[in-house]
Structure 1
Amino acid sequence: MIHPLRRLGLLVLWLALPLHAAELTVDVGYGQKTYTTAQLLARADARDVAIPADVAFKRAMRYRAVPLKALLDGASPDDTLQFVASDGFAAQIPAALIVQAHGSVAWLAVEDPAHPWPTLEEIKGDAGPFYVVWTQPEAMKIGPEQWPFQLVSIRRQPSVAERFPAILPDPALKTDSPVQRGFVVFQHTCFACHTLNGQGDAKLGPDLNIPHSATEYLREDLLRAYIRDPQSLRHWPQARMPGFDRKALTDQDLDNLLAYLHHMAGRKAQP
């Protein structure tokens, strides 16, 4: 039997352990690398970064962060990078936005176990241990889906078109058509949380085309309202879907997104 004083000592030691210490896996095609919280915080290029309008916390934040580009040595601007979170969120971000930045700069914010970040009100949980944040995001029109938190891995992937052909619109359509433009919007705003025709890596939201497209069971005005502010249509305290205001998604982008979803409703494919 453990003596009560020793048991108390073990409890104090357990409480002192870094509960948020974690590992990040990075693989851009030249072998997998693993970075621990301690390693990242100790890097010479780690610095304090101020984010005036943080996407996750909805306010100004400061982080200890590492330039994300420094962790992607060997990545080509033509690569597609997949950022996977512990909750099933899977964002596809063009490597060019990070390695050929023109104004916006991506940072990997690292949660210090000694100074944990606040709880995220929307999910009643933690954004750590790793979170991609951007300085001057407006310069390159970085969208809210390109700020993945609870990050566990970054991997180079083939293009979305190669991996998931069932989400492609009719190839006969012109590249500047509303449907094709909407396909681009879909990849930036929806594909990180939803699958379509059963294809995609995300595990958070329902499929947007099978068995029924959202365009088939929601009126156009209600669907628009839902995308702008999900809670305005269906109040659900545990809801995870963010709203997309006109800064994140212009009216023209929304028109194009709906054109794509309408088009894909006629191109259902079972996984």
Structure 2
Amino acid sequence: MRKALLALLFCFTPLHAAELTLELPGGTRTLDTATLLAHPQAQEVAIPDDVSYKRTMHYRAVPLAALLDGVSPAQHLQAVALDGFAAELAAEPLLARDGARAWLAIEDPARPWPPLAEGKPSAGPFYLVWTDPKAADIGPEQWPFQVVRIRYLPSVAERFPALRPAADANAEVRAGFAQFQKNCLACHRINGAGDAQFGPDLNIPHNPTEYLAGDFLPRYIRDPQSLRRWPQGKMPAFPAQVISDEELAQLIGYLRHMAGRKVQP
């Protein structure tokens, strides 16, 4: 669904200078392409194995931390794309200046980026990319593209109580909730809770742990097309490099726990 929306935007939206809106604790401001390209900390960065382009890419980019005035490591941000895709992001890794480092890549209208695929738009106007992402276990969902807004929000647990595990849930379930936020929440809801508009609700009317028995659910998460192959399938694969076996077990533990906590939206 997201690719179809992006294709529609590409057909009707010419490449031009864009604006990024920052809604942060210190206030709201808007920065345009020219301002960001001329930012005093802007520089050329090389991104090996770019998540979206699947190859080495070079960008004019600004350290994201330089734009997040007033944001503290304990806070929570959301990056919103042109099509409404919303990536939930903990602030702490975004503010890091060593190890894994977040950058806002800026598409120059005079030097447009290549399309993401044939007939598709590019990752612009703004794209959150990482150098040395493995140092902080940064996953693909933490690379939102076509970003137009970055905003401070309360944590997911505060905003959506229906996503929370029970207060007495064990450590594995709580860890699984963290994995769900990192890897699934951008596309899926649970109990109708969440901002996602792309994938199905994972608890209402049925939780996948209720209808995918044996090892079918982990196999499906690892490679959706290996179980259900169809041209319109949009769910990406989550190989061991993205989510380890231990983390996958935690995620499934959380889903199984939430099957017993259904709340009709």
What's the TM-score once normalised by structure 2's chain length?
0.90
Secondary structure of residue in 2 paired with 1:62: strand
Runs (4+) off by over 6 Å = none
Structure of larger gyration radius: 1
Letter in 1 for 2:33: T
Letter in 2 for 1:151: V
Q: Deviations over 1:202-236 (max 9, x none)?
A: 21211111111122222342221221122222223
Secondary structure of residue in 2 paired with 1:187: helix
Q: Does 1:72 align with 2:65?
A: no
Q: Does 1:183 align with 2:177?
A: yes
> How many Å apart are 1:112 and its aligned residue?
1.2
Q: Does 1:113 align with 2:124?
A: no
Q: Deviations over 1:13-61 (max 9, x none)?
A: xxxx962421111111221111111211122211111001111111111
Give the alignment partner of residue 151 of structure 2, picking from 151, 155, 163. 155
Aligned to 2:242: 248
Distance 2:119 2:239 in 1: 19
Give the alignment partner of residue 188 of structure 2, picking from 194, 213, 227. 194
> How many Å apart are 1:243 and its aligned residue?
1.0
- Could you tell me which runs of 5 or more consecutive residues in structure 1 were left unpaired when the two chains were aligned: 1-16
Q: Deviations over 1:184-209 (max 9, x none)?
A: 11110001111111011121211111
Q: Deviations over 1:153-180 (max 9, x none)?
A: 1111111111100011111123xx2211
Q: Is the 8 A contact 2:21 2:149 kept in 1?
A: yes
Secondary structure of residue in 2 paired with 1:257: helix
Give the alignment partner of residue 28 of structure 1, picking from 24, 30, 34. 24
Aligned to 2:161: 165
Deviates more, 1:44-53 or 1:232-241: 232-241
Deviates more, 1:18-27 or 1:101-110: 18-27
Alignment of 1:46-57 (within 5 A): 46-57=42-53
Distance 2:229 2:48 in 1: 29
Letter in 2 for 1:26: L
Letter in 1 for 2:181: Q
Letter in 2 for 1:165: P
Secondary structure of residue in 1 paired with 2:77: strand
> How many Å apart are 1:125 and its aligned residue?
3.2
- Could you tell me which runs of 5 or more consecutive residues in structure 2 were left unpaired when the two chains were aligned: 1-12
Distance 1:114 1:30 in 2: 33
Distance 2:26 2:129 in 1: 25
Q: Is the 8 A contact 2:95 2:102 kept in 1?
A: no
Alignment of 1:1-271 (within 5 A): 19-121=15-117, 124-174=120-170, 177-271=171-265
Q: Is the 8 A contact 2:124 2:145 kept in 1?
A: yes
Flag the 1:228–1:258 CA change in 2: closer, same or farther, 3 A: same
Q: Is the 8 A contact 1:122 1:240 kept in 2?
A: no
Letter in 2 for 1:25: T
Q: Is the 8 A contact 2:100 2:133 kept in 1?
A: yes
Distance 1:107 1:100 in 2: 11
Letter in 1 for 2:173: V
